[in-house]
Structure 1
Amino acid sequence: MDVILLERIAKLGQMGETVKVRDGFARNYLLPQGKALRANDANKKRFETERATLEARNLERKSEAQKVADVLGGKSFVVVRAAGETGQLYGSVAARDIIDALAAAGFNIGRNQVDLNNPIKTIGLHDVTLHLHSEVEITIQLNVARSADEAERQLKGETLTSADAIYGVDEDALRPEDFFDPDADGDSDEE
């Protein structure tokens, strides 16, 4: 299906371009969301008459998104979750949790603006990309920890999932011989 784009869409095209897309993508996403029009003569004329208002509206949305990006860019947000000693979370941190952390800090971001392909399942510092506008994207840092104190230690650069941090043992000093006896299988060299 040929459609006329009403805004810039990543990996597809710029505003005003006529592009060919799959029918399902057009019917289920582009057309209902108001991101495109079917490419027929009537809609082409309609787009040309409304082009100035569409460009002005797009520019206004972009400037608002850029203001939010300037404030949000490079910030770090803490999410506290229960985790095992190895740093594996008992649950996971999904886009919904990121939105809640941002809302607690006073930022209103939509769930579809969070680019998180897989949920976060370990403690540590994670970079998350936010698409505030089709032309404005930023990266924030998500600090997933078991407690606020642990989050501060992670920011200082401490590793909290290694044997040293958990057990107070130097990982480099650990050797396999320290944990098992090669003669423990019952075979003895003595007869």
Structure 2
Amino acid sequence: MQVILKENVENLGHIGDIVKVAPGYARNYLIPRNFAIEATEKNAKALEHAKRQLEYKRNKVLEQARVLVAKIEGVSLSISHQAGEEGKLFGSVTNMELAELLKAQGVEIDRKKIVLAEPIKHVGEFIAVVKVHPEVTANLKVVVTKAE
């Protein structure tokens, strides 16, 4: 089944793309959530008219993502955890914990968009990648210290 995307869908495509998906995926997920419309001849003609609006929306979403990246990169998170003598943490710092700390700083982001190369299990400075938009990522500085 072919659909026209109305939103950016990760691993599928961008706004305005015509993609082929399984009928159940389109019928049960994409169309009810307004992520896509069916690619009929009528909708394809309407797409040409709507492309300008979609391009404007795409640019607006990209601009919002860049503003969010500037906010995220301006923030440095400090976390204190209990640790052993050699700086090894009891447990680890997770992306859920980072998302909560970002929310406390006024930047609300889904925890699934925070990517850690490997779990943080030692005291020190780390960089976490935040996938704000398919085209834009931010580097989040995380400082882990030993709790007293």
TM-score by length of 2: 0.73
Q: Percent same amino acid among aligned pairs?
A: 34
Instruction: Determine the structure 2 residue equivalent to 1:51.
Output: 51
SS at match of 2:98: helix
Partners of 2:124 and 2:143 within 8 A in 1: yes
- Single out whichever of 40-49 and 64-73 deviates more from structure 2: 40-49
CA–CA distance in 2 between the matches of 1:128 and 1:28?
34
Report the Cα offset of residue 27 of structure 1: 5.7
| Runs of 5+ consecutive residues of structure 2 not aligned to the other structure | none
Whichever residue aligns with residue 110 of structure 1, its letter is D
Partners of 2:5 and 2:18 within 8 A in 1: yes
Instruction: Determine the structure 2 residue equivalent to 1:140.
Output: 140
Larger Rg: 1
TM-score by length of 1: 0.60
Instruction: Determine the structure 2 residue equivalent to 1:187.
Output: none
SS at match of 1:100: helix
Partners of 1:127 and 1:139 within 8 A in 2: yes
Instruction: Determine the structure 2 residue equivalent to 1:63.
Output: 63
Partners of 1:115 and 1:131 within 8 A in 2: yes
Partners of 2:76 and 2:140 within 8 A in 1: yes
CA–CA distance in 2 between the matches of 1:127 and 1:76?
10
- Single out whichever of 125-134 and 31-40 deviates more from structure 2: 31-40
| Runs of 5+ consecutive residues of structure 1 not aligned to the other structure | 149-191
Instruction: Determine the structure 2 residue equivalent to 1:120.
Output: 120
Report the Cα offset of residue 98 of structure 1: 0.8
CA–CA distance in 1 between the matches of 2:114 and 2:28?
20
Give the CA RMSD over aligned residues: 3.1
Whichever residue aligns with residue 18 of structure 1, its letter is I
Partners of 1:8 and 1:135 within 8 A in 2: no
- CA 1:38–1:82 in 2, change beyond 3 Å: closer, same or farther? farther
Matches within 5 A, 1:26-41: 26=26, 30-41=30-41
SS at match of 1:89: strand
